Structure formats: structure tokens, C-alpha cells
Chain A
Amino acid sequence: QKEVEQDPGPLSVPEGAIVSLNCTYSNSAFQYFMWYRQYSRKGPELLMYTYSSGNKEDGRFTAQVDKSSKYISLFIRDSQPSDSATYLCALRGGGYNKLIFGAGTRLAVHP
């Protein structure tokens, strides 16, 4: 079993839709949860960083963490074509100095 599971997609939605991206994990020692956005042929860009259960909002983005279910989500409201990218969840904790990445979900928002 992988430490972090993420559906690779691709996920295609119309402009303006609400997008839900998810990851599940198996190690309850993970304490820090991040979402990165990666455009094609570019490095990942940090979108959201959380370290507790609950919701964190930043503009059109909301990160949600449910530690009891070992489930994290990223919601994108009013999605735009410019949101088309690969979204990677990343977790850290349990003595790890490094990030453990999900496979990444490819999102396409069409006009």
C-alpha cells in the first residue's frame, strides 16, 4: 500500500465549476499537509499549507484536512482555464524530513 494515494485523473471540468481534489494517506504520524500546483514543464508551486484538521481558505482555494479519516482535500471555486495544471498533495511528519507526494491529479478547465 502506498503511503499517499491520489487519483491521477485526468479531471476535466467546465469553467466556473467547483473542483474537488483528494488524497488519502495511511500513516497517522503525518502532521503537515500541503498542496502544490505544477504547470507543464515548470516546478511545483506551493498553494496551501496546513497542519491541523479543519479548513483553511485562501481566495478561491480551500484546503481541508480530516486526520481521523486520513483524508485531505483541495477545493477550487469558480475554476478558471488558468487553473489547468497538475495538483500534488504532499505530506510530512512521522520523523520524515522529506515530503511524501501523491501521484498528482491533472486538471483541465475548459472555457
Chain B
Amino acid sequence: GAVVSQHPSRVICKSGTSVKIECRSLDFQATTMFWYRQFPKKSLMLMATSNEGSKATYEQGVEKDKFLINHASLTLSTLTVTSAHPEDSSFYICSARAPDRGTDTQYFGPGTRLTVL
């Protein structure tokens, strides 16, 4: 399968700081990447769809000024949680579409656990 990495895997920060999470497709080019949030024992909640070279499309209820997404290249998308607060603590997972792999589905990264103190 296609490989997607995320960095960092875990981050702890103070309230009010900003945190950047990177998502990379390692062995394929991803024109579309997705950012999800997951609470304990809950399913994935799509936050936004990121297309290379264009603005991200945010889901209803997701603050675009709070969660900044940049998809500057075909292998890298970043999510920046600005002025993080304890309620932003969650598991953030990215995925990337791999249409040239024959399945045209999404491959997920390992996730980033964010804890805001």
C-alpha cells in the first residue's frame, strides 16, 4: 500500500501557542489530502480537504482561521493549530488519495496526538 507519514507523532504545548503538523506522502504524489480529528473511541471527523496549490475546503463548523492548512507540494500538506487551547487536544490524522495506485482511495498517516496544557 501507499505510505503516508506524519510528524510529530505526539506534541504537548502550552495554551496560546501554535502547533504545526506535517503530512507527507512518501512514495506517491497526492493531489488531494484530508485532515481528520478523532476523539477517544469515536470515529473520524473530517475537518478539511486540501488540494495542492489551492485553498483548502473546510467542513461545516471547522474554523479556517483556527486550523490553517497549506498544501504547497504534491507530497506535503501541513495543518497549523493556531492559538491552541485545551479543547483542541485531540488525535489528528491526515490521509492522501492515491488514484494512481489503482484503488483511488485514501491512505492514512499514523496520526498526531496533540495535548494542550
Contact = CB atoms under 8 A, between A and B. Distances in A.
Interface of A: 32, 34, 36, 41-46, 49, 88, 90, 92, 97-99, 101-104, 106
Interface in B29-44: 32, 34, 41-44
Interface of B: 1, 4, 6, 32, 34, 41-44, 46, 49, 91, 93, 95, 103-111, 113
Nearest to A88: B43
Contacts, number: 52
10 A-B pairs with least C-beta separation: A43-B108, A43-B110, A44-B108, A43-B111, A49-B103, A103-B43, A104-B43, A43-B93, A101-B43, A43-B109
A42 B8 CA distance: 13
Contacts of B106: 46, 90, 99
B105 A46 contact: yes
Given A42-B110, A106-B41, 14 more contacts: A32-B105, A36-B108, A41-B113, A43-B95, A43-B110, A44-B95, A45-B108, A46-B105, A88-B44, A90-B106, A97-B32, A98-B49, A102-B43, A103-B43
